[in-house]
Chain A
Amino acid sequence: MNEATRDLVAAAAEAAATGTTAPVGVQSPWRRILADFAESRLALVGLALLVAIALAALTAPWISPQNPYDLSQLDVLDSKLAPGEASMNGTVHWLGTDDQGRDMLSAILYGLRISLGVGVSSVVCALALGLVLGLAAAYFGGWVDAVVMRVVDLQLSFPSILIALILLAVLGQGVGKIVVALVTVQWAYYARTVRSSALVERQKEYIEAAEVLALSRARIVLRHLLPNCLPPLIVVATVQVAHAIALEATLSFLGLGLPITEPSLGLLIANGFQYLLSGKYWISFYPGVALMLTIIAINLVADQLRDVLNPRLSR
């Protein structure tokens, strides 16, 4: 019964936009998605938080009180200051300093930069790779499908941490290498999601119509199939950003991945770990809070996106 209700409500909402009299403003499908998204206050809070974090990370070099990597600015006498205390030269460290004398606030801002940067860039690359392979598998079928899917299955049967650890042990440290590791770990999710989406869309009649209209295969895949496979992909990608950030933090915590000169949030947490129980909690705590807030914000946005995009999928 709920289905019938839902159908009627959807039909009514659509009918509101039709009419042969005055033309209604063009409602692109994307704008509808944004409008539906805005219905959940929680998601809007998450979005606001995410935007704030992203802005903070982007403008870190300009808004942070200190450049935490510039060794000349550090003074070991300033180390392990509590939050709110002033340093030797009078600047107040709102979140304290770590054992090297680095201002925590600055370190967190720079660390966010790295975390978000690595998270987003690895997702974008993995998305591109997974998209190409998944679409190819769905459209061409046959042995292309078989080969791609078996590799995906193989990939997904290993825990991602394990693969990442092995790769980084081989490749060494550095931002680029961490991104490679994260891409390797993630692309399979996208490929699988795109493939199942594309398989469904491929059966639809508008694809058949395009074939009867003698449009080239490339055109059909890129112009017709791809845009309609994006919604579930967007949901996966958003969640995966959080996952990538968490994974990178874990790897840094374990000592692999990023070097000490470019600390990510994970590394900051690792550094402060030894002081956690001796009263100087802020060295680990605040980076941890920052990490947690970032991941929560991303998850709130992703949850609402998933709900908003799903009913359209079932149509």
Chain B
Amino acid sequence: MSALPAPLVELRAVSKRFERTLDLAERATRLLRPAAPAPAVHALDRVDLTVREGEVVGLVGESGCGKSTLGRIVARALSPSAGERLWKGRPYADFDSGRDRRERLAVQMIFQDPFASLNPRMRIVDIVGEAPAVHGLVRRRERDEYVAGVLQRVGLDPATMRRFPHQFSGGQRSRIGIARALAVEPRFLVCDEAVASLDVSIQAQVLNLFARLREELRLTYLFISHDLGVIRHLSDRVVVMYLGRVVESARAVDLFAAPNHPYTRALVDELPRMDLRRRSFVPIRGEIPSPLAPPSGCHFHPRCPHAFERCRHEAPALREVGEGHVSACHLNER
């Protein structure tokens, strides 16, 4: 049995809190009279995540679960409030300066909104070519040729290089965002709802593109989506999050064949299926709680059909329920 590939990205006990920064006046009044702590959004609560070289990890959950925040922490667009993040075994901070600074480019991000993620006043050739030129990956003279190559790889016509983003369709803009990330020769891509705003037929094209690039360039993905169907199609491993915590993690085949956590089971039930006609949708009760005031104990207990006393007081830990399959539910211990 061959050893597992080395982990590229590791997150250990990462937490993230968003607090409204107080302005001068509020800070001054606080000095005079201490008040209750400012309300904070607990976006992430001691999350562990490991992504090994070459694999596609699907991160799934609904609004407020923190998956976007986690993706941004991996891609370095945000810093965690607590916990460590490691790249190839070394802390991210090692790559802040010096020769290793280039290594930062190895993790890139593809964004959800094809409108807002491209600078509307820059031509495509500049959007894609800026970073490689600035970081010395390509000489200025060769920049246009290089950009043409990258655009072709993502299925765009290089003749359109000098146009502006508004002159392209949504699917094409998605591809431009992918080209921009690929131009700096990354090893790891964080795709944050990269296909969510696309039509189904365009979505299929872009998903196929992701698969092809993975093959050709030997990339590793952290694929974030709320759409379980897309996750199932693309991922080797799936991590399910709810309100800032990981509730289940397993190989994709195992998770869909035998989901353990009640929330995962509810999500799998909602998987879009073409063959169920006039189904009676079995709803899962309740609203998604606000991250400002998460429920005590297990975050899912107000909506869980199997909740009991212990669930209200104690947050369950992730326990192994199968090979490479962990789940955070007290039911597993009965």
Contacts and interface: CB of A to CB of B under 8 A. Distances in A.
Interface string B148-179: 00000000010110111011110010000100
Contact of B134 (A23, A24, A150, A215): A215
Contact of B180 (A29, A146, A209, A227): A209
B167 A205 contact: no
A194 to B, nearest CB: 16
A209 B120 contact: no
Closest 9 CB pairs of A and B: A205-B117, A213-B131, A205-B111, A206-B119, A227-B121, A146-B24, A17-B167, A205-B116, A204-B116
A315 B167 contact: no
B266 interface: no
Interface in B75-92: 75-77
B172 A18 contact: yes
A146 B24 CA distance: 7
A219 B24 CA distance: 29
B115 interface: yes
A146 to B, nearest CB: 5
A68 B169 CA distance: 61
Contacts of B122: 224
Interface in A104-140: none
A306 to B, nearest CB: 19
B45 interface: no
B121 A228 contact: yes
B24 A215 contact: no
A146 B169 contact: no
B134 A219 contact: yes
Nearest to A211: B77
B120 A228 contact: yes
B144 to A, nearest CB: 15
A20 interface: yes
A26 B124 CA distance: 12
A75 interface: no
Contacts of A26: 123, 162-164
A29 B164 contact: yes
A208 interface: yes
B119 A213 contact: no
Contact of A29 (B113, B116, B120, B159): B120
B168 A18 contact: yes
Nearest to A207: B119
A213 B108 contact: yes
Interface string B91-113: 00000000001001101110111
A212 interface: yes
Contacts of A228: 119-121
14 contacts: A17-B167, A18-B169, A26-B123, A143-B24, A206-B116, A208-B109, A209-B117, A212-B76, A213-B105, A213-B108, A215-B130, A223-B130, A224-B122, A227-B119
A70 interface: no
B240 interface: no
B115 A315 contact: yes
A213 B167 contact: no
Which of A24, A208, A227, A315 has its CB near the most chain B CB atoms (within 10 A)?
Answer: A208
Nearest to B168: A18
Contact of A209 (B23, B104, B111, B157): B111
Contact of B159 (A15, A23, A211): A23
Given A18-B172, A26-B163, A214 B104 contact: yes
Interface residues of A, number: 34
B311 interface: no
A224 B119 contact: yes
Interface of B: 21, 23-24, 72, 75-77, 101, 104-105, 107-109, 111-113, 115-123, 130-131, 134-135, 157, 159-160, 162-164, 166-169, 172, 177, 180, 184
A208 B130 CA distance: 15
Contacts of A227: 119, 121
Contacts of A23: 159-160, 163
A141 interface: yes
Given A205-B117, A206-B118, A14 B167 contact: yes
Interface in A19-61: 20, 23-24, 26-29
B211 to A, nearest CB: 22
Residue among B76, B105, B111 having the largest count of chain A Cβ atoms under 10 Å: B111
Nearest to B104: A214
Nearest to B127: A206
Given A212-B108, A214-B104, A27 B157 contact: no
A24 to B, nearest CB: 7
Interface in A269-315: 315
B167 A29 contact: no
A22 B162 CA distance: 14
A215 to B, nearest CB: 6
B130 to A, nearest CB: 7
B246 to A, nearest CB: 23
Contacts of A219: 134
A212 B121 CA distance: 19
Given A26-B162, A206-B116, A212-B77, 17 more contacts: A14-B166, A14-B167, A18-B172, A20-B160, A23-B163, A26-B123, A27-B163, A27-B167, A28-B164, A150-B24, A205-B113, A208-B72, A213-B180, A214-B131, A214-B135, A215-B131, A228-B121
A27 B121 CA distance: 11
Contacts of B162: 26
Q: Which residue among B107, B112, B160 has the maximum number of chain A CB atoms within 10 Å of its CB?
A: B160
Contacts of B72: 208
User: Which residue of B72, B101, B116, B157 has the most chain A CB atoms within 10 A of its CB atom?
Assistant: B116
Contacts of B134: 215-216, 219
Given A205-B111, A205-B113, A29 B121 contact: yes
B120 to A, nearest CB: 7
Nearest to A20: B157
